[in-house]
Structure 1
């Protein structure tokens, strides 16, 4: 069995996890090589990649049985080659639709709909003003996007509005002028849920799931994401920070911490299984973002199809073991169907 790992960087020495992937693959008795999209020979169905043997060495490989495609491609040519290869070789990860589509899908579920904050697809400025007047606090999020970029918080206080974008505050009396600068068709509008630490900092939770050696969803990690200031997204990539989940929950919820932890894991797994079924069991890793309001109610914020692996915790090796074993499961299952 041959597993390929596709990454935007050409040199495997610049990728931190690739050595661990190669080591785990060897322990599982499968071959693994590393490559970037520019090294694919589509005409001859060959890839000039790297394999590890005391050091990274290069040679020509046939198309692999499966490709680990967790890396984001950087250039248009890389993206084009990735799409082309994906038509010929199975990938571990499959893309899901935008936030609007996933929100509508969850809204159709009899249980999940109760965990969703009020949200609408934005088309006009009038819609935004009416929504903010109703909820007092709202957040505009790009329908397509990740890592908390281009997120705008709108807070109504009396007859004026506070707008928070990229960590900066703007106070206005009339929203029309500010909103006229945006292409609202690119956004969804969501009720802002107050989810804070005891110190008053915004916080939410990432529940990272993936499939195991039998194709079943398991928990990779659950961790809090805490913002450094109010009305700023809590993504780690946007300056937020984290803590060990048990320590954090004990500090925040006292004797209820185990119940909260189990609820987070259960909801993350259930959502992953539900979405995977909708996508014909082609999904693998998912990141389910959940916040907890002042009444300890869980709220589903969004779902991401390629969640970043949190480097603080011991989940790294287990995550890689599951990933390699899932590759073996996928290839064996495919061979059984032949």
Structure 2
């Protein structure tokens, strides 16, 4: 576990602007910040950065001004303020369109994380280009017609459907073909929903109502289970104050009964799960953790080939029943739910401090960040 630390910035204070939702803004105005905002502000005090929050509507490009909200330590309250454009832009909400992204880049603003969300199809293509990672990506195809899905079921009895842009399991559906040719489907929409139909044709209406836009399909992997519950992992991977990739935390998530995902689940630290639940020896835990760490760093750097350098990613991955690693999904920003559930405060605090230390690192760079153009 890394030690909580902060480097001294001899230059001017680095300004970090955080893009938030209207809902989050209203909460701040009512002095009711979320836990993640509280932790980010605490990290701000250690990193000695200048932090403020805003929504896209508050940007005035004509005057290079943002009307945001910041924490005033003298009054111990969140207050409105007028700010210049930040040195570093941290996207905690939504996705920037190309026009706003280019305007910010033209003004010299750098991005802490990807200015737009990761596209599941594009990420799959990126990972397949890497000879060390391609075998860890489930078979993935675009679903452009129900004929495509029929073909996929000829290869496997379990198929996962995902929207191109997802997050927190909101647009993930699992379909299992039963031995009697019926189909069972499950997905989350505020709570777990399950359907069973006798024919594939009867199921098409459910899919059409769930996916309004394009989606992909992936072959289901025979994942590790514990007492019949799916198990996967969420890694918090970041660049630190030296610009190096660091695996800050790995949480193991055990899903709920019949759930297609483990997002809404119990969480354990990596060490405690493999030592106490799966009964790995200390040496086995250490060896496996090193293997996982190297795997995660390769995934992180490969995704950056398409999206540019990123200050953080939430990477979902899992073991199958033959102990092979599989990549499930990469997230351009992490809600840190499993991190809060499983880890001690020092680890949680370090994850937020890493972000702001990395912001200081890129703010001091003379050369502008480079973004691959073929995915923008």
TM-score (norm 1): 0.86
Are 1:311 and 2:340 counterparts?
A: yes
Residue from 139, 150, 155 that aligns with 2:160? 139
Residue from 53, 78, 93 that aligns with 2:113? 93
The whole-number CA distance in structure 2 between the counterparts of 1:300 and 1:139 is 13
Are 1:14 and 2:42 counterparts?
A: no
Closer, same or farther in 2 for the Cα pair 1:118/1:21, shift >3 Å?
closer
CA shift, 1:133, in A, is: 2.9
Given that residues 154 and 161 in structure 1 are in contact (C-alpha distance below 8 angstroms), is that contact kept between their aligned partners in structure 2? no
1:4 aligns with 17
What are structure 2's unaligned runs of at least 5 residues? 1-12, 370-376
Residue from 87, 95, 102 that aligns with 1:65? 87
Following superposition of structure 1 onto structure 2, how do residues 110-125 of structure 1 map, counting pairs within 5 Å? 110-125=131-146
Closer, same or farther in 2 for the Cα pair 1:280/1:233, shift >3 Å?
closer
Closer, same or farther in 2 for the Cα pair 1:122/1:90, shift >3 Å?
same
The whole-number CA distance in structure 2 between the counterparts of 1:230 and 1:181 is 18
Cα deviation digits, residues 144-200 of structure 1 (max 9, x gap): 222112322222232313322233443333212312553477221111112233311
- Corresponding pairs, count: 329
The whole-number CA distance in structure 2 between the counterparts of 1:47 and 1:176 is 52
2:223 aligns with 195
Residue from 18, 24, 27 that aligns with 2:46? 27
CA shift, 1:102, in A, is: 0.9
Given that residues 144 and 186 in structure 1 are in contact (C-alpha distance below 8 angstroms), is that contact kept between their aligned partners in structure 2? no
The whole-number CA distance in structure 2 between the counterparts of 1:97 and 1:30 is 27
Residue from 228, 243, 267 that aligns with 2:295? 267
Closer, same or farther in 2 for the Cα pair 1:72/1:311, shift >3 Å?
farther
Residue from 260, 264, 268 that aligns with 1:232? 260
Please say which of residues 215-224 and 4-13 is displaced more in the overlay: 4-13
CA shift, 1:96, in A, is: 4.8
The whole-number CA distance in structure 1 between the counterparts of 2:171 and 2:59 is 35
CA shift, 1:325, in A, is: 0.8
Given that residues 178 and 184 in structure 2 are in contact (C-alpha distance below 8 angstroms), is that contact kept between their aligned partners in structure 1? no
Following superposition of structure 1 onto structure 2, how do residues 198-217 of structure 1 map, counting pairs within 5 Å? 198-217=226-245
Given that residues 150 and 165 in structure 1 are in contact (C-alpha distance below 8 angstroms), is that contact kept between their aligned partners in structure 2? no
CA shift, 1:303, in A, is: 1.2
Given that residues 139 and 218 in structure 2 are in contact (C-alpha distance below 8 angstroms), is that contact kept between their aligned partners in structure 1? yes
The whole-number CA distance in structure 2 between the counterparts of 1:103 and 1:27 is 37
TM-score (norm 2): 0.78
**How large is the Cα RMSD of the aligned pairs?**
2.8
Are 1:42 and 2:74 counterparts?
A: no
CA shift, 1:231, in A, is: 4.1
Larger relative contact order (Cα-Cα within 8 Å, sequence gap ≥ 6):
2
Please say which of residues 210-219 and 272-281 is displaced more in the overlay: 272-281
**Partner SS, residue 110 of structure 2:** coil
2:322 aligns with 295
The whole-number CA distance in structure 1 between the counterparts of 2:55 and 2:215 is 33
2:365 aligns with 333
Given that residues 107 and 113 in structure 1 are in contact (C-alpha distance below 8 angstroms), is that contact kept between their aligned partners in structure 2? yes
**Partner SS, residue 322 of structure 2:** coil
**Partner SS, residue 138 of structure 1:** strand
What are structure 1's unaligned runs of at least 5 residues? none
The whole-number CA distance in structure 1 between the counterparts of 2:140 and 2:60 is 46
CA shift, 1:113, in A, is: 0.8
The whole-number CA distance in structure 2 between the counterparts of 1:333 and 1:317 is 25
2:10 aligns with none
**Partner SS, residue 193 of structure 1:** coil
